[in-house]
């Protein structure tokens, strides 16, 4: 029956899947072109009695429409697919975009250099938190309860009673290191410290320190002096002269400050050393027996030395940075100047 044949073809057209240009073309040849299914249907149609022609004619039209719609929608879908593929394709002839490499911060460059100097003579690294208890920041370091030294360091308090502070120096890491390790201890700690100071070109409320600690049997002031001389020569250059001036810190006895001799031959060295040639670099001393007792190390058996230095001033000197605020403003033009350093 012609009617069944047409219905079957309509069914086929509706369900056929057209996935590529080739099947689209064979679909077109079979259902649309004059030489396809249609022409043989017309041959049969001619034989149909005239009273049935009207109904069958409509059915043939429906088949024709279904086939044309299928062709249109499939060809559109294929076009869309092709465009999407083209859009996502990689054009290998395009020049590559270069990645911008970051650079180490000048403070990091100087820190790395100092850490390497001390690592070579057997120091390891210790860490401590930036939010410290009063015990670690002051009491264990032999600051007396109402000692003016607590006021000397303009402390940021996070909470009171019990006091929690932003550490004012890296010395609390000494205590943490001695709690964790037993002598011989040779350790360095690096980090941020905070003091409630007015921010200006020369001072900031946040800066960096490096702390050194050596505890063993028979550690003497001569060992301290030799270690510091080694550091000064490694960092400031061979032949650098140092001098130790008596000073006071609650956690060391005796205490000293170390200056290095830069000379006055360049205007910046003259200015930096206020015409003396000497630059103050660090505080140091022999670990106070009370500090050793606070971490259960017997001061009759062991002795130690410690030192602490600020990173900002020597970093600014090295790179000719005039304003300490450049170090924290994250201006890419400033930071880019340090690209390539390790
Ligand atoms: N903590 C001291 C400060 O911030 C620096 C210092 C001095 C550290 C003497 C030491 C030291 O370890 O022995 O001013």
What does the pLDDT look like over 64-77, one tens digit per residue? 998 899 999 999 99
Q: Rounded to the nearest whole angstrom, what is the distance from the C-alpha of residue 143 to the centroid of ligand 1?
A: 12
Rounded CA separation 23/175 (Å): 80
At residue 53, the pLDDT reads 85
- In a domain? residue 41: yes
Q: What is the pLDDT of residue 319?
A: 93
- Answer yes or no: are the C-beta atoms of 293 and 179 closer than 8 Å: no
CATH of the domain at 230: 3.30.930.10
Rounded to 5°, the CA angle 303-118-328 comes to 115
Question: Would you call 30 exposed, middle or buried from its count of C-beta atoms within 10 A (0-12, 13-18, 19+)?
Answer: middle
Domain presence at residue 97 = no
Burial class (CB in 10 A: 0-12, 13-18, 19+), 197: middle
Pocket of ligand 1 contains residue 252 by CB under 6 Å: yes
Q: Which of 23, 57, 88 is the last residue of a domain?
A: 88
Residue 242 has a pLDDT of 97
Query: Per residue in 233-281, pLDDT tens?
Result: 999 999 999 999 999 999 999 999 999 999 999 988 898 889 999 999 9
Are residues 169 and 238 both part of a single domain?
yes
Half-sphere exposure at residue 270, Cβ-oriented, CA atoms within 13 angstroms: 4
* Count of domains for the chain: 2
- Is residue 93 a part of any domain in this protein? no
Q: Are residues 6 and 56 in the same domain?
A: yes
User: Angle at Cα 246 formed by Cα 118 and Cα 150, nearest 5°?
Assistant: 85
Nearest residue (by CA) to ligand 1, atom 4, is 169
Using the structure block, give the residue that is written with the tokens 């006021």. Answer: 151
Asked whether residue 318 falls in the same domain as residue 237, the answer is yes
Cα-to-centroid distance, 308 and ligand 1 (Å): 4
Calculate how far, in angstroms, residue 252's C-alpha sits from the geometric centre of ligand 1: 8
Choose one of 88, 121, 154: the last residue of a domain.
Answer: 88
Does residue 180 lie in a domain region?
A: yes
> Which run of H or E residues covers position 214?
strand 206-216
Q: Are both 78 and 183 inside the same structural domain?
A: no
pLDDT at 101: 79
Indicate whether residue 249 lines ligand 1 (CB < 6 A). yes
Question: Do 43 and 110 fall into the same domain?
Answer: no
Same domain for 293 and 163?
yes
For atom 8 of ligand 1, the residue with the nearest CA is 308
**Same domain? 290 vs 170:** yes
pLDDT, tens digit only, all 342 positions of the chain: 888 888 888 898 889 888 988 999 998 988 888 888 888 888 888 888 888 888 888 888 988 998 899 999 999 999 998 888 888 888 888 888 877 778 899 999 999 999 999 999 999 999 999 999 999 999 999 998 887 767 656 899 898 888 899 999 999 999 999 999 999 999 999 999 999 999 999 899 999 999 999 999 999 999 999 999 999 999 999 999 999 999 999 999 999 999 999 999 998 889 888 999 999 999 999 999 999 999 999 999 999 999 999 999 999 999 999 999 999 998 989 998 888 776
Query: Does residue 19 sit in helix, strand or coil?
Result: coil
Are 183 and 283 members of one domain? yes
pLDDT value, residue 149: 62
Query: Is residue 82 domain-shared with residue 138, that is, in the same domain?
Result: no
Q: What pLDDT score was predicted for residue 151?
A: 66
Using CA positions, which residue lies closest to atom 3 of ligand 1? Answer: 169
Is the whole model's pTM more than 0.75, yes or no? Answer: no
**Helix (H/G/I), strand (E/B), else coil: 245:** strand
Q: Are residues 50 and 113 in the same domain?
A: no
Does 310 map to a domain?
A: yes
d(CA 167, ligand 1 centre) in Å: 12
Alpha-carbon distance values, 263 to 240, 241, 271 (Å): 10, 10, 11
Does the C-beta of 191 come closer than 6 Å to ligand 1?
no
Within-domain flag for 61:
yes
Do residues 197 and 63 both lie within one domain? no
Beta bridge partners of 79: none
218 lies in the same domain as 332? yes
Per the domain annotation, does 16 fall within a domain? yes
How does strand 185-194 pair with strand 124-125?
Answer: parallel
Neighbours of 292 (CB within 10 A): 21
The reply to whether 166 falls in a domain is: yes
Question: Which residue range is the domain that position 48 belongs to?
Answer: 2-88
Ligand 1 centroid distance, CA of 211 (Å): 7
36, two tokens: 């396809």
Measured from the CB, is residue 211 less than 6 Å from ligand 1?
yes
């Amino acid at each position: 029956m012609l009617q069944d044949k047409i219905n079957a073809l309509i069914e086929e057209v509706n369900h056929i899947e057209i996935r590529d240009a080739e099947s689209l073309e064979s679909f077109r040849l079979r259902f649309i072109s004059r030489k396809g299914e249609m022409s043989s249907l017309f041959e049969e149609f001619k034989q149909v009695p005239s009273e049935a022609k009207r109904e069958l004619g409509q059915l043939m039209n429906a088949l024709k429409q279904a086939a044309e719609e299928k062709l249109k929608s499939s060809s559109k879908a294929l076009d869309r697919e092709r465009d999407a593929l083209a859009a996502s394709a990689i054009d290998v002839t395009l020049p590559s975009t270069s990645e911008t490499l970051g650079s180490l911060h000048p403070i990091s460059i100087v820190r790395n250099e100092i850490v390497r100097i001390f690592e070579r003579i057997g120091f390891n690294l210790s860490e401590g938190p930036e939010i410290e208890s009063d015990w670690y920041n002051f009491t264990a370091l032999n600051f007396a309860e109402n000692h003016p030294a607590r006021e000397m360091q303009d402390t940021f308090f996070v909470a009171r009673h019990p006091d929690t502070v932003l550490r004012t120096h890296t010395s609390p890491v000494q205590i943490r290191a001695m709690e964790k390790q037993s002598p011989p201890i040779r350790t360095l700690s690096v980090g941020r410290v905070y003091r409630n100071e007015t921010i200006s070109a020369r001072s900031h409320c946040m800066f960096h320190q490096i702390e050194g600690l050596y505890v063993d049997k028979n550690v003497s002031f001569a060992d301290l002096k030799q270690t510091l001389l080694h550091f000064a020569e490694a960092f400031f250059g061979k032949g650098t002269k140092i001098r130790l001036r008596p000073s006071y810190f609650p956690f060391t006895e005796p205490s000293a400050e170390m200056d290095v001799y830069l000379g006055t031959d360049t205007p910046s060295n003259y200015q930096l050393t206020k015409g003396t040639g000497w630059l103050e670099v660090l505080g140091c001393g022999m670990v106070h027996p009370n500090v050793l007792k606070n971490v259960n190390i017997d001061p009759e058996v062991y002795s130690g030395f410690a030192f602490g230095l600020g990173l900002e001033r020597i970093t600014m000197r090295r790179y000719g940075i005039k304003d300490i605020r450049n170090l924290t403003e994250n201006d890419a033009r400033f930071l880019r100047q340090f690209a390539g350093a390790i």
